[in-house]
Chain A
């Protein structure tokens, strides 16, 4: 199978000796949205920099559309589009002028670029403000202009480096719609880095999780969650019983019991099974433990991360440099 992006034990060591990437192996299929998830400082930006030919790999191999990234950077640059974390538009120029310059840097003639610029402006809902200076744009408009600049030359692969960093939850939700709409536009592969678990979960066909410069899990989000072979069951006992924990732990199929607060709530990690809820109910009945509520859910990517790294996602990373800790994925 031809991959849009393939890397084989890719590594990057900076001149100071810091190893930012160690043996990153990825397969990204044509046309998919690939989520590259990891805490701050895990190596996401370094990976994207190597793939977009802005950094040279120290060891290993990477190809885009079958072309060696290290050997043919010029060819790669023609194939890819890039959307940065920050707004890189010229503030004193209009949105349209910024796109004309972006297109010109890809060698497009004004005649070629004019209809494309009109199309991407419409697609990103910027047509009305196209002839206003970027200085007056809102945060969301700037982000959309960045995407427009990234796709005006019709790349086969679009890289988005933490595209929703600094947007409020509503802005992120709106931004996701634009990303999803891009997929229908043309056969374009989207490689998206994020440190938001829910973003990777919501947008990606497949994801890879990077931690400390190495890939710790890769696959469709649903599969990663399924591979845990566990479900979570939240129960609330109607009264606090000293031996409740022991009773719950004895139920066949229950792997672990975690007490949530002091009001008789517990979270059970259980082997995946249709029969687990009746089994819990029966066992508690038999032991004289009354249940007020019971609910099951599949684990979130948060639990996937915890399982593969041994750390909570929100505790990982290099601190708070990029703002508040990402929200947990929640029960979906």
Chain B
């Protein structure tokens, strides 16, 4: 079981490092998002700095020192989601090449094949998010750019909670999209479904826009969106006053519930698709 798992992991890794464009895109995408979206959506401009009460309003709305800081943390969730959308593509291509059928004819446990792919693809979804985070911090020192400013001291527990939130988010999205790869046979159907889900998940979260500006019906959706929950955990640990009603642990618990549910759905769909017809 362990050896087959490591073998699948290694195969995924080798396929990744042999395609330089893939590596480059994974590096450049989050940076590009931060530079273009992050600097273009300068909602801070709506609050003239000289006006009385504006800094307070701004902080109350975003729960962050400025909009870019708010946005950069949301970007972590956005990048994780957009990278996880590709989780099932490897399986789809393997099906078309016959490699998938060859793997199924080996005694390797299906669970090891699924788990190996899930772990590699989750790492692939998570690390560009951390890269985005690091780059946003660096922007503080780049003249002409707004950067991510966080609390001066962040403890080990806070970092642990942030990492856990990111891990859960990456795992649940990757598991879901990976299972679509197992279930579906056509590329068009796969990309149709992922495109359909991508932006609604993003826009019903508070990753890019504060919940307070949304209509009530949307706010109730946003409150339970897993991307919101993950972002809440991160923002509460990074910024002094977010104004979010619950402690990070509560959001983490909600996120854990989502992860269990989505991974269970993914396992069910994948197991069905991998059953011998």
Residue A108 CB within 8 A of the other chain: yes
Residue A97 CB within 8 A of the other chain: yes
Q: Are B7 and A54 neighbours in the complex by a CB distance under 8 Å?
A: no
Q: Are B108 and A106 neighbours in the complex by a CB distance under 8 Å?
A: yes
Residue B276 CB within 8 A of the other chain: yes
Q: Are B3 and A93 neighbours in the complex by a CB distance under 8 Å?
A: no
* With A104-B10, A105-B4: A88-B101 Cβ-Cβ less than 8 Å: yes
Given the complex of chains A and B, what is the CA–CA distance between A271 and B8 in angstroms? Answer: 61
Which of B1-30 touch A at CB < 8 Å?
Answer: 3-4, 6-8, 10-11, 14-15, 18-19
Q: Are A105 and B98 neighbours in the complex by a CB distance under 8 Å?
A: no
Contact of B14 among A15, A56, A97 (CB under 8 A): A97
Q: Are A86 and B105 neighbours in the complex by a CB distance under 8 Å?
A: no
Q: Are A88 and B98 neighbours in the complex by a CB distance under 8 Å?
A: yes
Q: Are B103 and A105 neighbours in the complex by a CB distance under 8 Å?
A: yes
Name the distance in Å between A76's Cβ and chain B's nearest Cβ.
9
Chain A residues near B14 (CB, 8 Å)? 90, 92-93, 97
* With A55-B277, A92-B15, A106-B107: A84-B3 Cβ-Cβ less than 8 Å: no
Q: Are A82 and B102 neighbours in the complex by a CB distance under 8 Å?
A: yes
Name the distance in Å between A323's Cβ and chain B's nearest Cβ.
18
Closest to A112 in B: B3
* With A54-B104, A84-B98, A90-B11: A107-B3 Cβ-Cβ less than 8 Å: yes
Residue B106 CB within 8 A of the other chain: yes
Residue A101 CB within 8 A of the other chain: yes
Q: Are B7 and A86 neighbours in the complex by a CB distance under 8 Å?
A: no
Chain A residues near B99 (CB, 8 Å)? 88-90
Chain A residues near B6 (CB, 8 Å)? 104
Q: Are A107 and B98 neighbours in the complex by a CB distance under 8 Å?
A: no
Which secondary structure dominates chain B's binding surface?
A: helix
Q: Are A92 and B18 neighbours in the complex by a CB distance under 8 Å?
A: yes
Given the complex of chains A and B, what is the CA–CA distance between A109 and B6 in angstroms? Answer: 11
Given the complex of chains A and B, what is the CA–CA distance between A151 and B7 in angstroms? Answer: 18
Chain A residues near B108 (CB, 8 Å)? 105-107
By size class, the interface of chain B is 20 to 34
Q: Are A55 and B102 neighbours in the complex by a CB distance under 8 Å?
A: no
Residue A264 CB within 8 A of the other chain: no
Which of A85-125 touch B at CB < 8 Å?
Answer: 85-90, 92-93, 97, 100-102, 104-109
* With A55-B277, A56-B277, A92-B18: A104-B97 Cβ-Cβ less than 8 Å: no
Q: Are A92 and B11 neighbours in the complex by a CB distance under 8 Å?
A: no
Which of A300-331 touch B at CB < 8 Å?
Answer: none
Q: Are A88 and B97 neighbours in the complex by a CB distance under 8 Å?
A: yes
Chain B residues near A149 (CB, 8 Å)? 102
Proximity string of chain A (184-196) to chain B, C-beta cutoff 8 Å, 1 when within and 0 when not: 0000000000000
Contact of A82 among B7, B10, B105 (CB under 8 A): B105
Chain B residues near A93 (CB, 8 Å)? 11, 14-15, 18
Name the distance in Å between A15's Cβ and chain B's nearest Cβ.
8
Chain A residues near B8 (CB, 8 Å)? 105
Given the complex of chains A and B, what is the CA–CA distance between A89 and B102 in angstroms? Answer: 10
Given the complex of chains A and B, what is the CA–CA distance between A88 and B3 in angstroms? Answer: 21
* Most chain A beta-carbon neighbours within 10 Å: one of B8, B18, B19, B106: B106
Closest to A89 in B: B99
Given the complex of chains A and B, what is the CA–CA distance between A53 and B274 in angstroms? Answer: 12
Chain A residues near B7 (CB, 8 Å)? 100-101, 104-105
Chain B residues near A105 (CB, 8 Å)? 4, 7-8, 103, 106-108
Chain A residues near B11 (CB, 8 Å)? 90, 93, 101
Residue A282 CB within 8 A of the other chain: no
Name the distance in Å between A83's Cβ and chain B's nearest Cβ.
9
Chain A residues near B15 (CB, 8 Å)? 90, 92-93
Given the complex of chains A and B, what is the CA–CA distance between A78 and B8 in angstroms? Answer: 18
Name the distance in Å between A46's Cβ and chain B's nearest Cβ.
11
* Most chain A beta-carbon neighbours within 10 Å: one of B19, B101, B104: B101
Closest to B275 in A: A56
3 A-B pairs with least C-beta separation: A104-B7, A92-B18, A77-B107
Which residues from chain A sit less than 8 Å from chain B, CB to CB? 15, 52-56, 73-74, 77-78, 80, 82, 84-90, 92-93, 97, 100-102, 104-109, 133, 149
5 residue pairs A–B, Cβ–Cβ below 8 Å: A56-B277, A88-B98, A104-B6, A105-B4, A105-B106
19 more A-B residue pairs beyond the given contacts A93-B15, A105-B107, with a C-beta to C-beta distance below 8 A: A54-B104, A55-B276, A73-B276, A77-B106, A77-B107, A78-B107, A80-B105, A84-B98, A84-B101, A87-B97, A88-B97, A88-B99, A89-B99, A92-B15, A92-B19, A93-B14, A100-B7, A100-B10, A104-B7
